[in-house]
Amino acid sequence: MAKDYKKQFSQIYDKHIDKIYRYVLLKVGAKEPAEDIVAEVFTKTWKKFRTGPEIRNCSAYLYQVARAEIANYYRTGAKVEFVSVDFVPIVDKKASPEAEQTLKGDLENLQRHLREIKDDYQDVLLWYYVDGYSTKEIAAMLEKSEGAVRVMVSRALAELREKMAKKWPETLFA
Amino acid sequence: MDEKHLIGQLKVFSQIKPDKTWEFSVKERLLSQDAAVEAAKPMAWFANIGSFLSNRSGLAVGMATFIGVVLISGSLYFDWFGFSQNPQSQQMVLSLQEMQNKLELVNNSLDDLKNLDNKNQALAMAEVVKSTVKENQKVAQQLQAGKSGLSKQALASLGQFEKESGEVFARTSQVQNEIFEQCFNDLKQRSLSVSDQERLKQAEDFYNQGEVAQAMMILQQIGQ
């Protein structure tokens, strides 16, 4: 029994670690706090997995704990930071230095505006476009219908575009 | 910015990944915490280790040391998380060498286990040692395979530690088997009740199938 649940949790960890880390890093903006938060998320989940009632949806549970830990982090007075785009390897080796700089600038810009839309919208955009969850999987996590999730994704994207379009004239001259 | 371009940029964030050494160390720390709980379970069989020691004033020094190392301090568990956080640290390499000394101490005390009056306790102690060194050996193997950030000295220490852990595991298994055989022979000499005879047979069957923990549990019930 003990070996079974260790193996099960190990599989859950392997499946989710990249996604939870990415989610937390994009929300808190700094590597060390992100690592601490993610470690705490999995510690709490592991404890629940061993001792508590069965977790029906592990993905949903992990993100729920992650959100709570991120909220605690900001409650302690941590400042909002943005992930240095040096964390994001630019894979296009043919890109010129200028193109690479432009892309890095765009990504920083994107990150800032992503933070301006509401949390639920941020989450569905990250889950759908960054982590590749299907609308069905997101619906299960949020306990909503697939239709509702598709609408959320569409609205979230529209809102993000709107934020970026509005701010663009300001940033052009910043 | 059009939608397609925006989606393309969002997808670039999917390239963000955690540091592999960190990822591995968190996982191992979590799962080895549970190994500590699992390995400690046979220790619950010792109702009162303090009175056990005080009632045996003639206890060999080697055995007392063995008990101290394994049961009281729990010091056969290595701080793998700390090691992986700072693999270059000389302190970590020294800690690893200290662990090797403890392993040697345990190895030298293993024969005394066979002389312990209470065979069930001896079997349980052996099981605690086995599970602990096995976990340590596994983690040492994985860290060596990963190699990321490890100094040559650390790798050498890990290799030596892994080898010695394996040797202690093999030796402890051998001693445990000898104690089992002693147990079975002793019990067969006695006049056991019908239910105890059945338990003895069950325990032997589990032992022959390699189900050591189950065999130990059944043996514990004999005579109760």
Q: What is the DSSP letter of B114?
A: T
Q: State the pLDDT at residue A86.
A: 60
Q: State the pLDDT at residue A157.
A: 95
- Give per-residue pLDDT as tens, A31-51: 888 999 999 999 999 988 887
Is B18–A50 a contact, with Cβ atoms under 8 angstroms apart?
Answer: no
Is B23–A6 a contact, with Cβ atoms under 8 angstroms apart?
Answer: no
Taking the CA of residue B88 as centre, how many other CA atoms within 13 Å lie in the half-sphere pointing to its CB? Answer: 2
- Give per-residue pLDDT as tens, A73-128: 888 776 666 666 565 554 455 556 776 777 777 777 888 888 889 999 999 999 99
Please state the rounded mean pLDDT for residues A158-174.
Answer: 67
Is A161–B31 a contact, with Cβ atoms under 8 angstroms apart?
Answer: no
Is A46–B38 a contact, with Cβ atoms under 8 angstroms apart?
Answer: no
Higher pLDDT, A166 or A19: A19
Q: Which residues contact A36 (CB under 8 A, 6 or more apart)?
A: none
Domain A1-81 class in CATH: mainly alpha
Q: State the pLDDT at residue B47.
A: 34
Chain A residues touching B16 at Cβ < 8 A = 21-22, 25-26, 83, 87-88
ipTM (interface predicted TM): 0.83
Segments of chain B with pLDDT less than 70: 1, 33-92, 146-149, 224
The answer to whether residue A62 scores a pLDDT higher than 90 is yes
The structure tokens listed for B58 are 């003639």
Task: Please state, in angstroms and rounded to a whole number, the distance separating the CA atoms of residues B183 and B206.
Answer: 14
Angle at A42 between CA A107 and CA A121, to 5 degrees: 40
Interface of chain A against chain B, CB under 8 Å? 2, 6, 9-10, 13-14, 17-18, 21-22, 25-26, 35, 38-39, 42-43, 46, 50, 83, 87-89, 91, 103, 106-107, 110, 125-126, 129-132, 157, 160-161, 164-165
Radius of gyration (C-alpha) of chain A in whole angstroms = 18
Residue of B nearest to A18 (CA): B17
Contact B127, B212 (CB under 8 A): yes
Among A51-60, A161-170, B70-79, where is mean pLDDT lowest?
Answer: B70-79
Q: State the pLDDT at residue B41.
A: 40
Task: Please state, in angstroms and rounded to a whole number, the distance separating the CA atoms of residues B122 and B102.
Answer: 19
The phi, psi pair for B162, rounded to 5°, reads -60, -45
- The domain spans of chain A are 1-81, 116-174
Is B23–A46 a contact, with Cβ atoms under 8 angstroms apart?
Answer: no
Q: State the pLDDT at residue B100.
A: 78
Chain A residues touching B14 at Cβ < 8 A = 22, 130-132
Is A164–B6 a contact, with Cβ atoms under 8 angstroms apart?
Answer: yes
The torsion defined by the Cα of A157, A163, A166 and A167, in degrees rounded to 10, comes to -130
Q: State the pLDDT at residue B55.
A: 44
Is B13–A88 a contact, with Cβ atoms under 8 angstroms apart?
Answer: yes
Is B26–A38 a contact, with Cβ atoms under 8 angstroms apart?
Answer: yes
Chain B residues touching A42 at Cβ < 8 A = 26-27, 30
Q: State the pLDDT at residue A80.
A: 64
A77-103 core/surface letters (b: 16 or more CB in 10 A; e: else): eeeeebbebebbebeeeeeeeeeeeeb
Higher pLDDT, B112 or A142: A142
Domain A116-174 class in CATH: mainly alpha
CB pairs under 8 A between A and B: 79
Contact B133, B172 (CB under 8 A): yes
